[in-house]
Amino acid sequence: MAAAWVLAAAAALALWAAAAEGARSPAARVHRHLNRLNKPAVKSIESPDGDIIDCVHLSHQPAFDHPLLKNHTLQMRPAYHPEGLYDDDKRSVASDNAGEKPMLQLWHQKGRCPEGTVPIRRTKKDDLLRASSLRRYGRKRHTAVNPLSIDPNMLNEGGHQHAIAYVEGDKYYGAKATINVWEPKIQQPNEFSLSQLWILGGSFGEDLNSIEAGWQVSPDLYGDNNTRLFTYWTSDAYQATGCYNILCSGFIQINSEIAMGASIFPISNIAGSQYDISILIWKDPKEGNWWMQFGREYVLGYWPSFLFSYLADSASMVEWGGEVVNSEPDGTHTSTQMGSGRFPEEGFGKASYFKNIQVVDSSNQLKAPKGVGTYTEQSNCYDVQNGNNGDWGTYFYYGGPGKNSNCP
């Protein structure tokens, strides 16, 4: 009897050890991570590009995994827009959008999410397996560009290159831009090309706070070359906090119609139809949260102010423009395109643009930025040219092809 008991105990111990080992296996870790990211859906929609958009109840979104959000009272609308009191009939925010072609996301062709839910792009196993690690999935590996630095090695840290316009020297409570949308060609899967605005606070050391939004093409993150709406945030220079879209707790979405990370449709064509998106990010002067609006009518959600240190008050710099990753070794340059892949001097219909760029001042008013500077690391690879006129306000063209006869 004793021998039988010992054998049974040994068998049970072996089963427990096998189960424990299985729980620690890479496959088990991937499964647990997928369960954390993909919340139970009220409805799921398969997009023509292969994405699955899950319509998740407002209170079940990833934001509420954050310990400081467990008892957070959800804000369903901002107390104030930059022009004044927010109201339900307000459709436009200090922008001349006459003639702007309607922008949709590709998944809208197959349906919409019901009220009371938020659309979340489902993370697939392959998405996680492309990442360098589960811990780094959905996170950037670099700092924002500091155009005031005199150290070119810092400006091109990690092979990142930029063509941007920027303002600094004041307190900024938000920013806005209308951004031309393209589908730049990417040379290597681990490279990306994006066009965005940055709202920055702190130094460019380990304390940098950043809120970012725009469009990007990132095969590594999404598994394809589609142009996608994205956001990002960090409160410690991309070290341990923040992520793309809603791949971690932080950004709280309230809108049921626009999905972070979903494909934008349609896209501009050389010498053809031009499409753009408008993005506004501003700090609600009453609640202190940072809100995001997409287009003329979609208030998407907010970043709670407690996520940040410097941005809990205001931003000290705003940047607009393009960024690419150059992963080529030994001084060789990538052929990954920025913007449309054309240089700024080619102008409308060929070069990519930002127009009607604005900042939000301390009186919560949108206004044209003063003292706009421009910066690029290698103007023979990617360049930027700014201007001002009555139709487009403060604007700039930017971008380029990367590797060419003048950019080896």
- CA distances to 82, 192, 208, 227, 262 from 221, rounded to whole Å, are 33, 9, 23, 12, 12
CA gyration radius for the chain?
23
Q: pLDDT band at 102, cuts 50/70/90? A: low
Of all residues in the chain, the percent with pLDDT exceeding 70 is: 87
One-letter amino acid for residue 187 of the chain: Q
Q: pLDDT band at 94, cuts 50/70/90? A: very low
Helical pair 26-37 and 2-24, crossing angle rounded to 10 deg: 60
User: What's the pLDDT at 389?
Assistant: 95
Is the confidence at residue 250, as pLDDT, over 70? yes
Q: Give the active site residues.
A: 212, 323
Of all residues in the chain, the percent with pLDDT exceeding 90 is: 68
- SS3 state at 157: helix
One-letter amino acid for residue 190 of the chain: N
Nearest 10 degrees: Cα torsion 91, 97, 100, 105: -40
Domains of the chain: which residue ranges?
A: 36-89+103-137+161-399
Mean pLDDT of the residues in the chain? 87
User: What's the pLDDT at 149?
Assistant: 76
137 or 173: whose pLDDT is higher? Answer: 173
Cβ proximity of 233 and 248 under 8 Å: no
User: What's the pLDDT at 6?
Assistant: 52
For the ranges 55-69, 80-94, 119-133, 316-330, which has the lowest average pLDDT?
80-94
Mind listing the pLDDT tens digit for each residue in 143-158? 678 888 755 554 444 5
User: What's the pLDDT at 18?
Assistant: 47
As a whole number of angstroms, the distance between CA 245 and CA 196 comes to 13
Is the backbone of residue 202 left (phi > 0), alpha (psi -120 to 50) or beta? left
User: What's the pLDDT at 403?
Assistant: 95
Mind listing the pLDDT tens digit for each residue in 49-63? 999 999 999 988 888
Is the confidence at residue 303, as pLDDT, over 50? yes
Across the beta sheet with 193-201, what order do the strands follow? Answer: 228-234, 209-217, 193-201, 315-325, 160-172, 373-376
User: What's the pLDDT at 330?
Assistant: 75
Could you tell me the pTM of the whole model? 0.89
Is the confidence at residue 16, as pLDDT, over 70? no
As a whole number of angstroms, the distance between CA 7 and CA 11 comes to 6
User: What's the pLDDT at 4?
Assistant: 59
User: What's the pLDDT at 376?
Assistant: 95
- SS3 state at 155: helix
User: What's the pLDDT at 95?
Assistant: 36
- CA distances to 36, 56, 57, 93, 211 from 118, rounded to whole Å, are 16, 5, 6, 23, 21
Mind listing the pLDDT tens digit for each residue in 162-203? 999 999 999 999 999 999 999 999 999 999 999 999 999 998
Taking residue 389's Cβ as centre, other Cβ atoms within 10 Å add up to 9
- Mean pLDDT of the region 8-29: 59
Is the confidence at residue 92, as pLDDT, over 70? no
DSSP 221: H
DSSP 227: -
Helix (H) or strand (E) holding 7: helix 2-24
User: What's the pLDDT at 98?
Assistant: 39
Is the confidence at residue 235, as pLDDT, over 90? yes
- Mean pLDDT of the region 283-293: 95
